[in-house]
A = this chain, B = another copy of it.
């Protein structure tokens, strides 16, 4: 049989060589591929089921446990139990979301929710007399009358579908001579459903559709508790990882738009199934969903032509918050449920950033605030004393580790944090999953560049210094380009040195300059020089080391105490919109109140950008604490750097 077979785990494409007879679960454990195994690998629970698509894969034959635990549909689809199936040859296994204990790191924890809890959807218990020949008030008006008399509500609408079964549901609720029902009401004005008797709580969904990942939170609306969470890769990714190529797919391919819409809708519905299953909640009792995401994801989810978003002047189809019913979008919840997408500021400042601002309460603060959501596209807001300005900075994917020589996503084997010894520049690495390193993810590459700047490996223009002074870690290629060697090949899980090239450093400089320039433009528009508070929104902001970001000049000088990390602020904003009925109007207010600044059309943008290519900025005196720190680290005045 020769060499050991290789198992490749999708969707991460993590490969591992294992001896014949190793179980898939054991193989996964060797690379920290997180497969759930609640029964301890005894073939009882089925949580380790993985999908093996190949016909007659080189695995042990199905054993009786597998035939018992897996159902016919799963068996037909090629599912196997990771703890029972043993490897007999090269094989690829897909780990479905339901079987993952960890894996790709997707932020799903929002910050603490701290606001007045007053959901738009509420349930009301009613008991009223039924009709007689003397009192023939129709059912709809009878329920409305009861809501008015018992709770003072002023109902103006009853959902069309909710009406269809109203005659039978109220009669089904007849006990002790009265009609006893539970009415589910939105905004105290619209009846979305009537159920016989006394029912359990109503639920809502906060849904964050990112370009890469999709996150869903199931909340009990009355208590505000998060009952279940699911996240998965946005399936549209296969038609383009970045927004532009995905939008092009939607506009250039016949049926592309409807294909993308169908894919993301099915993924959302799968996730709704997952969270309602997990929390043992009837999807019919899910009565609201609030969506956030960037403008392109908004358009693609709703089937709106997104062509104009991806081409200059990058105009969205709408600014307004959209409201519809679950049935209009074929969502796997109550068909009368209220569905909304938060409103849009611009083609590149979407509902996700509106949710950030909403969650952070940026417009409500008395202090001046800078809010940044770092991603391929960085969204920035500066809230001055009189006006809030927002902009979108095209940072590119470098800050996320993409298009970097050894860039990888945050996954087992990725270097996520780096510090360099001030003298030897020997790196101290943190690797996800405590494995041999196989690449550098976004937070790691930012650390490397920041550390190189701190120890003097690059000058203020980002140029790697002469290899002679490079502690043996800077080397020159034949074409005159220079690389910084982070990990030698023998210590790495790849066949070559893990390096950071001069071009990689340039990419990081460009990205940080884009965000820094956007910030500086907005500060200038707001007429202020410094901010009282910095809000880092977005999952990525959570992973970046704030000191590294500060060293690079990614944000202006502020006290460490004045920095807030809001994690998945977009999801948090969606939850806020779900749990507080005024929040949607607040979101509308944000959109109408802020002033959008188009950087591409801003006079002097280019000059500011050039200044921002320096580390941390051409004008070092604007960053006194960094200047002091770098001078101390290198033992020489800033002028010599």
Contacts and interface: CB of A to CB of B under 8 A. Distances in A.
Q: Which of A306, A317, A324, A600 has the most C-beta atoms of chain B within 10 angstroms of its own C-beta?
A: A317
Contacts of A319: 137-138, 140-141
A50 interface: no
Contacts of A312: 133
Contact of A317 (B167, B316, B600): B167
Interface residues of A, number: 46
A238 B269 CA distance: 40
B138 A318 contact: yes
A215 to B, nearest CB: 24
Q: Which of A133, A136, A171, A312 has the most C-beta atoms of chain B within 10 angstroms of its own C-beta?
A: A136
A11 B347 CA distance: 59
Contacts of A166: 304-305, 317-318
A219 to B, nearest CB: 25
A244 to B, nearest CB: 16
B328 A160 contact: yes
B344 A138 contact: yes
A303 interface: yes
Contacts of A139: 308, 315-318
Contacts of A141: 318-320
A322 interface: yes
A315 B131 contact: yes
Nearest to A320: B140
A216 interface: no
A165 interface: yes
A577 interface: no
A3 interface: no
Contact of A136 (B132, B318, B596): B596
A316 B165 contact: no
A151 interface: no
A313 B133 contact: yes
Contacts of A314: 136
Nearest to A327: B328
Interface string A259-287: 00000000000000000000000000000
Contacts of A320: 140-141, 158
Contacts of A564: none
A104 interface: no
A165 B299 CA distance: 11
B598 A158 contact: no
Interface in A148-205: 158, 160, 163-168, 171
A416 to B, nearest CB: 37
A529 to B, nearest CB: 26
Contact of A138 (B140, B171, B302, B317): B317
Contacts of A598: 133-134, 136
A76 interface: no
A52 to B, nearest CB: 39
Interface in A110-140: 131-140
A317 B163 contact: yes
A567 interface: no
Given A141-B318, A141-B319, A318-B141, A304 B164 contact: yes
A307 interface: yes
A601 interface: yes
B163 A601 contact: no
A324 to B, nearest CB: 5
Given A131-B313, A138-B317, A168-B305, 9 more contacts: A134-B601, A135-B313, A136-B596, A137-B315, A139-B318, A140-B320, A141-B318, A160-B328, A164-B302
Interface of A: 131-141, 158, 160, 163-168, 171, 302-308, 312-320, 322, 324, 328, 344, 346-347, 596, 598, 600-601
The 5 A-B residue pairs whose C-beta atoms are closest, nearest first, are A133-B601, A140-B318, A131-B315, A167-B305, A138-B319
26 contacts: A133-B313, A134-B598, A134-B601, A136-B346, A136-B596, A138-B316, A138-B317, A138-B319, A138-B346, A139-B315, A139-B318, A140-B319, A140-B320, A141-B320, A160-B324, A163-B318, A164-B303, A164-B304, A164-B305, A165-B305, A166-B304, A167-B305, A167-B308, A167-B315, A167-B317, A328-B328
